[in-house]
Amino acid sequence: MQQNLNVDIKQTQSITCDECGGVYFDQALIIRKASGLLTGQSKPSYIPIPVFACKSCGHVNGEFQPKEIQSLD
């Protein structure tokens, strides 16, 4: 859900893709798999993590990734 912030758009800065310089982004999901042993379930669990991916090239800037997964994989 989007919040209505009382901020003058002129006081904000645009974000561009670190790879191609694109300015349009789509919301995407990073999916992490957790073993059933970790979750106490009989099957693995899948954890969706929302991020923004460049609409032109698909790159996800580091600032859009949670710090906990930036250095994984």
In a domain? residue 32: yes
In a domain? residue 3: no
Print the domain residue range for 32. Answer: 11-69
The terminus-to-terminus CA distance of the chain in angstroms comes to 30
How does pLDDT run across 4-43, given as a tens digit for each residue?
778 899 999 999 999 999 999 999 999 999 999 888 889 9
Beta-bridged to residue 53, according to DSSP, are 26
Residue 50, classed as helix, strand or coil, is strand
In a domain? residue 15: yes
Count the domains in the chain: 1
| Averaged pLDDT for residues 51-57 | 98
Looking at the predicted structure, is the pLDDT value of residue 70 above 80? no
Distance of CA 54 to the CA centre of its chain: 11
Supply the pTM of this predicted model.
0.74
Which tops the pLDDT comparison, 59 or 39? 59
